[in-house]
Amino acid sequence: MSLVTDSPVHSSSSDDFAAFLDTELDSKSSASSASDDEAPNERHSDSAASSSPDQDKEAEEDDDSDFQSKRVKRSKVETVEIVEDDGGTTSFASLKHNSEASISKEICTHPGSFGTMCIVCGQLLDGESGVTFGYIHKGLRLGNDEIVRLRNTDMKNLLRHKKLYLILDLDHTLLNSTQLMHMTLDEEYLNGQTDSLQDVSKGSLFMLSSMQMMTKLRPFVRTFLKEASQMFEMYIYTMGDRAYALEMAKLLDPGREYFNAKVISRDDGTQRHQKGLDVVLGQESAVLILDDTENAWMKHKDNLILMERYHFFASSCHQFGFNCKSLSEQKTDESESEGALASILKVLRKIHQIFFEELEENMDGRDVRQVLKTVRKDVLKGCKIVFSRVFPTQSQADNHHLWRMAEQLGATCSTELDPSVTHVVSKDSGTEKSHWALKHNKFLVQPGWIEATNYFWQRQPEENFSVNQIKN
């Protein structure tokens, strides 16, 4: 049993699986209706001439048996064989129904199910196992062995075409949305500047009246998606609900070139208030994640590239406790060429290049998480940092997030001053360590210098984060 090989190009396993399931279920439904309409008439005309009560009873039993047989046969589909498309991703080609094949329910491994029915043999299953992939097709659940098989096959095809996986958050990463009721007086001018929903590919600010919402796409996002798609198989993964996720996907990808069925919302997650790669058909060793919320990925921090939050609307600033004017209220925006997405695209290119061109391990043994660590450690390599009055009293310095962040960026952190120290991080220029830095011509910077360096993956100019000196 096999699949026909006329699979669509540039689609992923999840995309093609969704298309196949829609087509297959529609065809089964049509065929079932047709056969059910014809069969009773045929049986009635054949038996109407003469029949006895015993013959009628036997006929009814035969009909029941025949109905059960047809129900099982209609539910059978061939074992899924994965074929490779020209784009290097795995494709589920259209499944061909094989009415002649007989798959024993006793030997079927039940690789997946719709509700309680096995997608291969049609048997009704007791209990639930595996993982739900509702974003691929409503009601679809795949067993753990089948998930492993799909991931392994998809991985081989992607690597052959020099692609990895990229998981993209929506809010504050690729865009910013606000409820219309939360817009301030200083933002009212935006109502006259929204772009047409008829051709969203040319706009960046949209009024979504049906959702009582306004959405602003982050500068450079369209170029980012286009170029990233050459290196990555991309997913959307948001804590928003499915309706919101799909609406945002239409704005970002109106031509369905990048995501198609690969849109995951909070409704698809397996843990409350957490995101996980268990619902992604990609090997963890080949996945990168862009998200502004580190705590959403507690099990996958090694895959995460933390994004600087995009606060275009005032409500976004208020949500995170910032008592300042938003970008919209200031009538400005991030830079296209030097903003967060442009900076991260450079990082992604570097990681991709190292993974495919500079590692000595066999392709199967490579791990993008190790590449991520290596690239990150180069950012502040050679810097030695001492903190002054940055951490709470009595706290363990090396447990503070800024200390850990600096070390992840390749810096050496210390509690003691010595000639090898290059930076003193402080909020106060009046501390003893701050005086030492100024006296010995060392960099005296605010804590934000480390955070900005972490977001941009590039050492930031120290003069932009200087500590105000107290005038005598």
pLDDT for the residue 364: 83
**What is the mean predicted confidence (pLDDT) over 325-341?**
96
- pLDDT of the residue at 176: 98
Rounded Cα gap, residues 102 and 122, in angstroms: 12
Question: What mean pLDDT comes out for the span 291-302?
Answer: 96
Higher-confidence residue of 1 and 383: namely 383
Give the pLDDT band of residue 440 (cuts 50, 70, 90): very high
User: Pick from 143, 166, 145: which is nearest to 262 by CA?
Assistant: 166
Q: Which of 86-95, 334-343, 378-387 is least confident?
A: 86-95
Tokens linked to 27 = 């065809």
Three-state secondary structure call for residue 367: coil
What is the amino acid identity at position 331? K
Secondary structure (DSSP) of 314-332:
HHHHHHTT--S--TTTTT-
Q: Could you write out the three-class secondary structure of 226-240? A: HHHCCCEEEEEECCC
How would residue 370 be classed by pLDDT, with cut points 50, 70 and 90? very high
- Higher pLDDT residue, 92 or 274? 274
The rounded percent of the chain whose pLDDT value lies above 90 is 67
pLDDT, greater one: 93 or 123: 123
Dump pLDDT digits (tens) for 60-89. 444 444 434 444 444 444 444 434 455 555
Residue 165 and residue 233 in contact, taking contact as beta carbons nearer than 8 Å: yes
DSSP letters for 415-435: SS--TT--EEEES-TTSHHHH
Q: What is the pLDDT of residue 136?
A: 92
- The number of angstroms, rounded, from the C-alpha of 40 to the middle of its chain's C-alpha atoms is 50
The answer on pLDDT for 163 being more than 50 is yes
The DSSP string of 56-123 is: HHHHHHHHHHHHHHHHHHHH--PPP--EE-TTSSEE-PPPPP-SS----TTT----EEETTEETTT-P
Task: Determine the average pLDDT of the residues in 153-159.
Answer: 92
Rounded Cα–Cα distance for residues 435 and 47 (Å): 106
| Banded pLDDT at 359 (limits 50, 70, 90) | confident
What's the pLDDT at 470?
52
Averaged over 230-248, what is the pLDDT?
A: 97
Q: Give me the chain's average pLDDT, please.
A: 83
Give all domains of the chain, ordered by start, each with its CATH number: 112-142 (no CATH), 162-355 (3.40.50.1000), 380-465 (3.40.50.10190)
Query: What is the enclosing helix (H) or strand (E) of 357?
Result: none
On the question of pLDDT at 38 being above 70, the answer is no
Concatenated DSSP letters for 222-278?
Answer: HHHHHHHTTTEEEEEE-SS-HHHHHHHHHHH-TT-SS-TT-EE-GGG-SSTT---GG
Task: List the single range of 86-100, 249-263, 291-305, 430-444 with lowest mean pLDDT.
Answer: 86-100
What's the helix, strand, coil split of the chain in %, to 5? 40, 15, 45
Query: Is the per-residue pLDDT at 4 higher than 60?
Result: no
% pLDDT > 70, the chain: 77
Q: What is the per-residue pLDDT for 12?
A: 56
Task: Assess contact for 327 and 218: CB atoms under 8 A.
Answer: no
- Return the pLDDT at 281: 93
Band (pLDDT 50/70/90 cuts) for residue 23 is low
SS3 396: coil
Q: ∠346-351-354 over CA atoms, to 5°?
A: 125
Q: Which two tokens stand for residue 345?
A: 């695209």
Helices 13-47, 53-75: axis angle to 10 degrees equals 170
Report residue 278 as tokens: 């268990």
pLDDT higher for 206 or 87?
A: 206
Answer yes or no: are the C-beta atoms of 450 and 371 closer than 8 Å: no
Task: Outline where 89-197 has alpha helix (H).
Answer: 144-160
Query: Across residues 243-251, what is the average pLDDT?
Result: 97
Predicted confidence band of residue 362 (pLDDT cuts 50, 70, 90): confident
Taking a C-beta distance cutoff of 8 angstroms, is the pair 4, 96 a contact?
yes
Pairing of strands 140-142, 131-132: antiparallel
Look-up of token digits 């910013």:
176
Q: Which is more confidently placed, 73 or 434?
A: 434
Beta-carbon-side half-sphere exposure of residue 283 (alpha carbons within 13 Å): 22
Residue 164 φ/ψ, nearest 5 degrees:
-125, -175
**Phi first, then psi: what are they for 466, rounded to 5°?**
-70, 150
φ, ψ dihedrals at 384, nearest 5°: -120, 125
Q: How far is CA 288 from CA 168, 259, 305, 364, 451, in A?
A: 9, 15, 7, 17, 20
306 against 71, higher pLDDT: 306
The identity of residue 129, as a single letter, is S
107 — pLDDT class (breaks 50, 70, 90): confident
pLDDT of residue 430: 94
Q: For Cα atoms 6, 11, 17, give the angle at the middle one, nearest 5 degrees.
A: 75
Q: First and final CA of the chain: distance in angstroms?
A: 86
CA 211 to chain centre: 23
The residue among 449 and 32 whose pLDDT is bigger is 449
Q: Residue 353 and residue 343: Cα distance in Å, rounded?
A: 16
Q: What is the spatial distance between Cα 209 and Cα 197, in angstroms, rounded to a whole number?
A: 11
More confident residue, 393 or 267: 267
φ, ψ for residue 4 (rounded to 5)?
-70, 155
Q: Tell me which residue has tokens 């109905």.
A: 67
Contact 287, 280 (CB under 8 A): yes
**Tokens found for residue 95:** 């499944």
Mean pLDDT across 173-202? 96
CB 226 within 8 A of CB 253: no
**Residue 101 confidence (pLDDT) above 80:** no
Query: Per this entry, what is the length of the chain?
Result: 472
Side chain identity, residue 470: I
Res. 302 pLDDT band, cuts 50 70 90: very high
Report the pLDDT value the prediction gives residue 175, as an integer from 0 to 100: 98
Q: What 3-state class would DSSP assign to 141? A: strand
